[in-house]
Amino acid sequence: MPTMRPPRIRPTALRSFQITPLRRISSASPWHWHSGETVDLAFDLHKEGECKTDSSKCKPPIIFLHGLFGSKINNRSIGKRLSRSLNRPVYALDLRNHGASPHNPEHTYAALAADVAAFLSKHSISRPTLIGHSMGAKAAMALALWEPDRIANLIAVDNAPVDAALKSDFHSYVAGMRAVSRAGVGTQKEADGILSEYAKELPVRQFLLTNLVRPKTGDSKVLEWRIPVEDLARQLDGMGDFPFRDPEKARFEGPTLIVRGTKSPYVADEALPVIGRFFPRFRLVDIESGHWVISENPEAFKDAVVEFLEDKD
């Protein structure tokens, strides 16, 4: 089980930040920080243990947000395990442009967070725990900073509230998906052969290939990406940004857990002081893994989340 240790916050390492101007459309609108349309998110609901047989015994819910090119399917196993261990319902969401959720050319953290806020309202979910990995982590952090009173706890997995360029791997993945599209493949095996030139690790290719499906209509035998590859490619650089710059003007005071992979560069020690200013009640846990923390070391991740949330019930 990973050892929970206090964050190493070095005030002298703090930089000066300025907040990104927010676009207001109406003071009465709950989405005053997002002027675009929200989309209705697809989801899976996992209820295990006593929560499955008696909803009155369910503890506060968890909202689980996947990373770039992922979907709710990626969090099915860990969602069920967390529900069973914590007796909480777990909503695993498909973020916009992913999985079974609608596509929209706007793919920003403001849009992603607004979609999740709309989901909470539609399903009458009050003060859940947000868990997000990678892109989902920044979306969760953005929502916690914009609507802090609506969120009870936050768990951000291998990402930080800073502007940081995505690793070149993600651009390579997009190039590989484009190559698959051009080839007009009819089998996953054919697609994997093409992707192997762009993603060396088999688990990564298997992850990407969960997005390659056969069309539901027509007689075509050519597999298609269910995600809008070109739209996401245009927004790729923005996925390294974070919509807040000033921790003095936006802060989430709720309990926060930052989970980082020991072999991943996305949560550097230099980012910890900034994390501490945005999320002053944060705790840090290191898990032996790369960026794909949940799939690489699911037992350690589950233990860290359970330990963090057990005293929050």
Residue range 56-112, pLDDT digits in tens: 889 999 999 999 999 999 999 999 999 999 999 999 999 999 999 999 999 999 999
Residue 83 confidence (pLDDT): 97
* Bridge partners, 257 (sequence order): 155, 283
Q: Please, how many CA atoms are within 13 Å of residue 248, restricted to the half-sphere of its CB?
A: 5
Residue 164 confidence (pLDDT): 85
Say if domain 11-165+241-310 classifies as CATH 3.40.190.10: no
Residue range 259-309, pLDDT digits in tens: 999 999 999 999 999 999 999 999 999 999 999 999 999 999 999 999 999
The better pLDDT of the pair 118, 218 is held by 118
Tracing tokens 């069920």 back to the chain, one arrives at 80
Residue 72 confidence (pLDDT): 97
Residue 123 pLDDT exceeds 60: yes
Q: Degrees (nearest 5) of the Cα angle 149, 151, 154?
A: 135
Single out the catalytic residue among 83, 181, 291, 295.
291
Residue 160 pLDDT exceeds 50: yes
* Range in 25-29, 195-199, 217-221 with the lowest mean pLDDT: 25-29
In the annotation, is 134 catalytic?
Answer: yes
Residue 23 pLDDT exceeds 70: no
Nearest to 20 by CA among 249, 277, 279, 245: 245
Single out the catalytic residue among 83, 134, 289, 295.
134
Residue 55 confidence (pLDDT): 87
Residue 156 confidence (pLDDT): 98
Number of CB atoms found within 10 A of residue 29's CB:
11
**Mean pLDDT of all residues in the chain?**
88
Residue range 205-214, pLDDT digits in tens: 999 999 999 9
The amino acid at 146: W
Q: Tell me the percentage of the chain whose pLDDT exceeds 90.
A: 77
In the annotation, is 291 catalytic?
Answer: yes
Residue 130 pLDDT exceeds 50: yes
The amino acid at 112: L
Residue 156 has φ and ψ, to the nearest 5°, of -110, 125
Interval 164-187 mean pLDDT = 92
